[in-house]
């Protein structure tokens, strides 16, 4: 149900109480008999709320200690890069993590001048470090991504630079909960002052090497020469300093909107449910930027850790993420001479099937994986995937010479790529996608979120398809029912049903008490609604 606040300014009475939030982080203690208060790594690390006792200093002490033990067990003795976004809890979390790392004898690198660091810059730093040395640097990103201001998050990136896979996070999660259960007795820690004086804490310029290398992945020169008038909106996030450096270094005509952090994010318009959420793919959260679409040739935004992108054009408004992924893939494989047919397109199983149709027309294999960018990391690292993208507006791709750039999502190269595409093709992103619909058919795509208990989420995650007696979906014959992705064979944690011209997928959220129904039809909007209704009926049957 759409909130009356959707797309509007949030009342001051609804803003997060930052002092109370930070106090809760330090003072509230989790109850380990409550599942929701234990450490749980979803698709992007451990996330939670200090006031709900799911993201407190005790959690960070335990997770960081578990991580330090894991690093030593794996022989990762090089530096640990730590970055943070602009959520209110991120700085307290960074201080807590540093105290534990230093006590365990680990060298830590953080941003100079206490700056904020986007997720892709951590991935970039790890890869550049390990490329030049026979070492195993890794990293931590302190972020809850686009989540509301009161949330916190902690994500680990191993030496391949991407989000840790489940075999890693399961070890860290299990050990962290053991440490919490044992009253933090196994945690080694020093005071913050001792950490500062230890010689193990180092300050690093994450921004400059990244910005200076951008010409190796995007044609910045063609953007500059076209004098494209652009607007970058960091949504009060960690990309503020990066866009400032990009503008200065490349002399681009780019206005940076709201170039400062605000822990309450009071400048944001409310998302669909009335909450503040820095979701650059939401037309409601992005309402203020969409209003400016006619003032610029191109406007764009990123979430707080800059791993997601939102593209706004004069003719298309806020471009649907699936539409832009389709355009970006087509453009890269038709305009990068080193993007040859032996490379693959990476997509999540809930991303639009328009991508398969484009891939088939280009003779490029599509590699479909479960939700989570971690499934693309190895492919990008090894140069087997030219592109990896998620329907939630997260993607990255290879450099012009087809070598690795980042193995985590990079919302900033995706925004700059949009500028290159518009200059080189002379077309609006929306115009290019419209041509795809003429050639391959129109896609009708939507996602529905519904409340789910822990037990219902468990049922969906461990589904036995043998209990389903289905032959048709929306009058079409069902071609396949899958619980494992076709690309890598990994469990999808849910269900996908596919016909010739449509599909539905149901999966539980890894961070919220909801399940999600994704659906796409290449027949009609009415057909989309029909298969959505059938998906809901299937869910009711499973939960009954």
Residues with catalytic function: 145
End-to-end CA distance of the chain: 24
Residues sharing a CB contact under 8 Å with residue 254, sequence separation 6 or more, in sequence order: 230, 231, 232, 243, 246, 247
Q: What backbone torsions phi and psi does residue 80 show, to the nearest 5 degrees?
A: -105, 115
- Token pair belonging to 344: 């693959």
- Counts for the chain of helices (H) and strands (E), in that order: 17, 23
Q: Say how far apart CA 140 and CA 106 lie, in whole Å.
A: 13
State whether residue 342 is helix, strand or coil: coil
Assess contact for 93 and 71: CB atoms under 8 A: no
The Cα diameter of the chain in Å comes to 69
Neighbours of 402 (CB within 10 A): 16
- Least Cα distance to 158 among 143, 146, 171 occurs for 171
What is residue 43's DSSP assignment? B
Q: List b or e across 128-137, with b for residues whose CB sees 16 or more CB atoms inside 10 angstroms.
A: ebbeeeeebb
- Least Cα distance to 153 among 101, 93, 237 occurs for 93
Residue 448: half-sphere exposure toward Cβ, Cα within 13 Å: 19
Assess contact for 313 and 336: CB atoms under 8 A: no
Q: Say how far apart CA 143 and CA 46 lie, in whole Å.
A: 9
Residue 301: strand pairing partners: 233, 310
Q: Say how far apart CA 434 and CA 10 lie, in whole Å.
A: 35
- Least Cα distance to 241 among 402, 371, 115 occurs for 115
Residues sharing a CB contact under 8 Å with residue 36, sequence separation 6 or more, in sequence order: 52, 54, 454
Detail the DSSP E strand segments found in 351-464: 366-369, 385-390, 394-397, 444-451
- Least Cα distance to 96 among 67, 57, 69, 65 occurs for 57
Compute, in degrees rounded to 10, the torsion defined by CA atoms 387, 391, 393, 396.
-10
Q: Say how far apart CA 143 and CA 44 lie, in whole Å.
A: 9
Residue 440 CB burial class (10 angstroms; 0-12, 13-18, ≥19): middle
* Inter-helix orientation angle 119-132/411-425, to 10°: 100
Assess contact for 127 and 406: CB atoms under 8 A: yes
């Amino acid at each position: 149900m759409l909130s009356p606040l959707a797309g509007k300014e949030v009342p001051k009475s609804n803003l997060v109480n930052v002092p109370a939030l930070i106090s809760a982080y330090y003072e509230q203690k989790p109850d380990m008999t409550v599942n929701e208060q234990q450490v749980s790594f979803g698709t992007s690390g451990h996330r939670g709320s200090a006031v709900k006792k799911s993201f407190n200093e005790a959690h960070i002490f335990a997770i960081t200690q578990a991580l330090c033990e894991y690093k030593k067990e794996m022989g990762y003795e090089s530096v640990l890069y730590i970055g943070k976004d602009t959520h209110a809890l991120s700085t307290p979390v960074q201080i807590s993590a540093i105290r534990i790392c230093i006590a365990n004898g680990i060298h830590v690198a953080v941003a100079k001048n206490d700056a904020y660091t986007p997720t892709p810059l951590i991935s970039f730093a790890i890869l550049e470090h390990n490329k030049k040395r026979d070492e195993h640097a890794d990293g931590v990103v302190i972020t809850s991504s686009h989540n509301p201001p009161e949330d916190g998050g902690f994500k680990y990136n191993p030496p391949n630079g991407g989000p840790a896979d489940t075999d890693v996070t399961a070890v860290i999660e299990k050990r962290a909960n053991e440490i919490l259960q044992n009253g933090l007795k196994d945690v080694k820690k020093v005071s913050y002052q001792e950490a500062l004086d230890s010689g193990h804490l180092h300050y690093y310029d994450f921004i400059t090497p990244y910005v200076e290398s951008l010409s190796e992945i995007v044609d910045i020169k063609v953007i500059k020469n076209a004098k494209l008038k652009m607007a970058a909106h960091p949504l009060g996030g960690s990309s503020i300093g990066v866009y400032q450096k990009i503008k200065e270094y490349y002399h681009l005509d780019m206005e940076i909107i709201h170039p400062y952090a605000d822990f309450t994010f009071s400048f944001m318009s409310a998302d669909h449910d009335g909450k503040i959420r820095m979701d650059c793919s939401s037309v409601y959260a992005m309402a203020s930027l969409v209003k400016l679409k006619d003032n610029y040739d191109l406007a764009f935004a990123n979430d707080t850790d800059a791993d997601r992108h939102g593209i706004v054009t004069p003719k298309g408004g806020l471009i649907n993420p699936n539409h832009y992924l389709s355009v970006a893939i087509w453009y890269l494989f038709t305009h990068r001479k080193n993007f040859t047919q032996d490379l693959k397109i990476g997509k999540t199983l809930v991303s639009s099937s328009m991508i398969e149709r484009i891939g088939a027309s280009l003779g490029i294999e599509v590699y479909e994986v479960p939700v989570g960018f971690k499934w693309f990391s190895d492919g990008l690292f090894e140069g087997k995937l030219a592109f990896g993208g998620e329907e939630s507006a997260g993607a990255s791709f290879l450099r012009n010479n087809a070598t690795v750039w980042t193995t985590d999502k990079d919302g900033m190269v995706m925004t700059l790529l949009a500028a290159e595409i518009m200059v080189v093709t002379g077309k609006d992103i929306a115009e290019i996608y419209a041509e795809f619909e003429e050639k391959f058919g129109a896609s009708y795509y939507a996602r529905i979120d519904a409340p789910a208990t822990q037990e219902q989420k468990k049922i969906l995650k461990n589904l036995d398809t043998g209990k389903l007696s289905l032959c048709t979906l929306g009058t079409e014959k069902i071609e396949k029912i899958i619980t494992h992705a076709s690309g890598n064979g990994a469990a999808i944690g849910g269900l996908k049903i596919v016909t010739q011209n449509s599909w539905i997928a149901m999966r539980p959220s890894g961070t919220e008490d909801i399940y999600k129904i994704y659906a796409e039809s290449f027949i009609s909007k009415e057909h989309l609604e029909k298969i959505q209704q059938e998906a809901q009926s299937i869910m009711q049957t499973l939960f009954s």
